[in-house]
Chain A
Amino acid sequence: MTSTASYTIHCLSRALSPITHMRETRGNIAILNRADVVTPEGVASVPVLSGNALRHRMLRAPGARYLVDRCGLEGHLSLRQLNFLFHGGSLAGSTARIDTAAAARRDRLVPFVRLLGGSLPHEIVPGSVQVGIGWLACRETSPLLRTRYPDVADELRGLPPAAGFIGGWQHQRSDAARGREASMAREDAVDEDQKLIMMLMTGEAILTGALIVHEIHLSHVSPLELGCALLSLSLWQREGGSVGGQSAKGHGRLKTSIRVESHGANGHATDLDAAVDAYVQHVDEHAHAIAHWLEVEFDELPAEFMSAAGDAAPEKLKADQVRTAARATYSAGDRPWATMTESQRDELVAGISWPKAKPKAKGKGNRQ
């Protein structure tokens, strides 16, 4: 049995560009996402980054992208599989399947799934990670942060209020009819009824240089799951560490530093690099098996295999019997059809265990 331990990854994120994580728009002004905080002076509303957004950007999306790249899944995934990997997926029906042995095999094979959880077609997999809210370091959140970080309590006093970290931005969408490019249009391109698409967009932003404090809790994870979380964080940072909206316009860049705290006597993750290396090695060694698991779990059996199975099946079998038998044989394997050699494919099809066709029942109704 793999040993597990719990960790808290403390994150300090410095805004390298305006952060525009929005809650709503009022008129044409985009308003920052905020949370109410109880302070000694009363309830205050401060800008926050939601745990949901941080979880997606920092962990799920880079982790899923890594699996797609390393397991050669690009171009081979259905929308259901993509939704599961990148967005958590959804149950396909009302009936949940419980197979603890299969779940244990899956957890060992795909640490990403046990870490982040999600909804497989017939099973909800609970995750092991809880991502906290990103709190702006400011006067209003100071009491909250002081309880979490008593070693810097003095420095947390006297911070400017949240209003001091909120600025504005403005973008303008231009219109070709108003620009120099208008001269490139056809002579008959002028449409008097056409409305101009020029638009002014304004909104609030957390200022560049502001500090966001947040945490990621990993509850009873294996070393591979810890490695998966840390690798995802590293990939996210390498890609620019963006959160919130307007990233195409340069907004939302965070420079994040971390401190990993191990909880309990079984804490085994003192060597963070070793955990990440182990995960990288695990995915490389099991890339085919992971791709195969995704095919089987989502019942995305390759059309070419099903066609070959249909050709090889005894004539008396019904279509659903052919499918059931082919699926059972395919599921027992550990690599996807696309990675097999010709001889391996032939061997797989030849190895399908076909059921015997049942003789027709002789009931009273059949007697003449």
Chain B
Amino acid sequence: MTTAQRPPLPETFDAAAFRRELAGLRQPPADAGYDDFRDRAVDVAVCLVDLYNDAELDRKNVWGRIASGLASIAGRHLDGDLDLLVSELLEHVRADPVLVGPHETLPTLLKLFAGRPPEWRRGFAGYLAKRHYAVIGHAREAWEQIKSERSDARALRSGGATSAGEVVEVTE
């Protein structure tokens, strides 16, 4: 290689070129937050518990099955395809399709995901894949709360004891 044959030096940059490079990076929409991964992950896990098919799977293993689903399935969808990710998770817990549509949270959650920017969706898939143990921990607490609220609602509706120990009598 002579001096004439050597490769050219890499391009040089100045402050203006640096600014242009930075400007090329995508800006997040103003309303897109990145701190709510945990809350949304808990929402997903709670939907999975709620739609867990007891008829086909052992109820005692519900959290173990959800954890294994999060670990293996979320890792395959780091591209941010959350519709597919959630679908595979539902399949993993053998959710009944008849119950999925009218579920009180899931459709809203999917709509929320669809409105989020791609970088958020990718980040969320990564969060589920890497922090599935923590997600289970948070979700279990949230699920207990939901169960308690549902029990209270039933008691108020049909009579019985609420979680606060209050006995409700329903009179016709």
Contact = CB atoms under 8 A, between A and B. Distances in A.
B46 to A, nearest CB: 22
B7 A164 contact: no
B81 to A, nearest CB: 10
Interface stretch (B22-30, B54-62, B160-168): B22-30
Contacts of A284: 2
A97 to B, nearest CB: 34
Contact of A29 (B27, B28, B129): B129
Contacts of A305: none
Interface in A19-41: 26-29, 31
Given A168-B79, A169-B78, A12 B2 contact: no
B69 interface: no
A199 to B, nearest CB: 13
A77 to B, nearest CB: 19
A256 B10 contact: yes
Interface in A146-200: 149, 151-152, 155-156, 158-161, 163-170, 200
Nearest to A31: B130
A207 B6 CA distance: 31
A202 interface: yes
Interface stretch (A106-114, A274-282, A334-342): A274-282
A362 interface: no
B97 interface: no
Interface in B69-91: 71-72, 75-80
Contacts of B26: 160, 164
Nearest to B6: A280
Interface in B27-68: 27-28, 34, 37
A207 B80 CA distance: 12
What is the size category of the interface that chain B forms with chain A? 35 or more
A210 B11 CA distance: 18
Contacts of B119: 160, 163-165
Contacts of A257: 10-13, 17
Nearest to B71: A27
B6 A160 contact: no
Given A160-B28, A160-B119, A165-B119, A238 B19 contact: no
Contacts of B13: 10, 12, 257-259
B172 interface: no
Interface string B77-120: 11110000000000000000000000000000000000001011
Contacts of B79: 167-168
Given A164-B119, A234-B10, 15 more contacts: A12-B18, A66-B1, A137-B22, A137-B25, A155-B22, A158-B27, A159-B25, A163-B119, A163-B126, A168-B75, A168-B122, A202-B75, A230-B9, A258-B9, A276-B3
8 contacts: A27-B75, A69-B1, A152-B19, A161-B123, A167-B122, A237-B7, A258-B9, A280-B3
Interface of B: 1-3, 6-15, 17-19, 21-28, 34, 37, 71-72, 75-80, 117, 119-120, 122-123, 125-127, 129-130
